[in-house]
Amino acid sequence: MTHPPQPPDEQWALLQRLTHVSRLATLGEMAAGIAHELNQPLTAIASYAQACDWLLARGSTDTAEIREALQQITAQGLRAGEILRRLRYLVRTPDSTRALADVSELVEELQGLIQSDARLHDVRLSFELARNLTAVQLNRLEIQQVVLNLVRNAIEALQSVAPAQRNLRVRTAHGGDAAEITVIDSGPGVDPRIESLLFSPFVTTKPTGAGLGLAISHSIVRSHGGTLGYRRGSEGGACFLIGLPHAQGGA
Ligand SMILES: Nc1ncnc2c1ncn2[C@@H]1O[C@H](COP(=O)(O)OP(=O)(O)OP(=O)(O)O)[C@@H](O)[C@H]1O
Ligand SMILES: [Mg+2]
């Protein structure tokens, strides 16, 4: 695991303020996947509505067929609404509330969003979520932001390998006195030249990267009394591990 140098306090404060901006930026990067995801139910609604119109114009008396199309319109409308609901949840104004949470549930809430991003970038995705994890005291939105940062980095790194080799795994597990979330990819792994500075702000190898994702993630996890570490994965790619201490006295 890499132990980054500690930035001075004012830098941590700045990173905290940048967190909200960064979350919006991450969602901005994910916008293409979200747009694609929304487009599917909307296209379906338009074609079912067109079919209804066509049946009625033809003077069809087959109400079963028309009702079937209308039911599809309702279902697809609800699906689009669900996508937007998830999105609204993630862009809501941040607060500092912490509550007991199961990290598997927290990751599950992101599943749809991650799936659409992975699909769009030809990444094979798998989730291994442990059941009955001990609860952790956390700020849900902040920890979800960390997971999304790690996933975005993995998907970006995977673009440099052939589509057939793009694997991404998100796991949760019991880890002694902490709950663990691991993000593992089959990409090239972190460039050894930046490994020792990985969690410092403004360290990037990307032409348009801000180099803030990992620094912010590290600051969030640290403020929870947890750890964020990197090691090379068994498949040669990158493996990032978030460890969040169990609530005092368990749950
Ligand atoms: N999964 C990964 N595989 C390979 N390299 C990675 C991975 N995750 C991070 N890195 C390296 O670490 C650097 C820093 O990541 P970080 O998320 O902090 O910034 P960034 O992705 O460059 O920019 P942004 O601020 O938009 O997140 C990246 O530029 C990349 O070189
Ligand atoms: Mg990043």
Note the pLDDT of residue 112.
86
| Rounded average pLDDT over 105-115 | 91
Closest CA to 51 of 80, 71, 78, 79: 71
**Ligand 1 atom 1 nearest Cα:** 154
Q: Indicate the DSSP class of residue 2.
A: -
In the predicted structure, residue 250 carries a pLDDT above the cut 50: no
Note the pLDDT of residue 205.
95
Which residues' Cβ are closer than 6 Å to ligand 1?
149, 153-154, 157, 185, 187, 189-191, 194, 198, 203-206, 209-215, 238
Note the pLDDT of residue 45.
96
Interval between CA 213 and ligand 2 midpoint (Å): 4
- For the stretch 6-48, pLDDT in tens is 555 665 555 555 666 666 667 676 677 777 778 889 999 999 9
Interval between CA 85 and ligand 1 midpoint (Å): 28
Q: From residue 194, how far is each of 66, 136, 201, 203, 204 by CA, in Å?
A: 60, 31, 12, 7, 8
Tell me the average pLDDT of the chain.
86
| Rounded average pLDDT over 178-185 | 97
pTM of the model: 0.76
Interval between CA 10 and ligand 2 midpoint (Å): 22
| Rounded average pLDDT over 189-198 | 95
Strands 124-128 and 167-175: parallel
89 pLDDT band, cuts 50/70/90, is low
Q: From residue 242, how far is each of 31, 56, 149, 172 by CA, in Å?
A: 25, 57, 12, 9
CA 18 to mean position of chain CA atoms: 18
Note the pLDDT of residue 236.
86
What are the residues whose beta carbons fall under 8 Å from the beta carbon of 50, sequence distance 6 or more?
none
- For the stretch 59-72, pLDDT in tens is 988 899 999 999 99
Query: Cα torsion for 187, 146, 114, 193, to the nearest 10°?
Result: -10
Strand partners, 182: 171, 241
Note the pLDDT of residue 209.
80
Q: How far apart are CA 171 and CA 175, in angstroms?
A: 12
- Is residue 224 within 8 Å of 107, Cβ to Cβ? no
Range of weakest confidence among 23-37, 129-143, 202-216, 221-235: 23-37
Interval between CA 204 and ligand 1 midpoint (Å): 6
Note the pLDDT of residue 238.
98
- For the stretch 118-163, pLDDT in tens is 999 999 999 999 999 999 999 998 899 899 999 999 999 999 999 9
CB atoms within 10 A of CB 21: 12
Note the pLDDT of residue 123.
97
- In terms of pLDDT, which residue wins out, 250 or 189? 189
Q: How far apart are CA 179 and CA 245, in angstroms?
A: 6
2 pLDDT band, cuts 50/70/90, is very low
CATH topology of domain 97-245: Heat Shock Protein 90 (3.30.565)
Note the pLDDT of residue 40.
86
Note the pLDDT of residue 7.
52
Range of weakest confidence among 14-18, 97-101, 181-185: 14-18
Strands 227-232 and 238-245: antiparallel
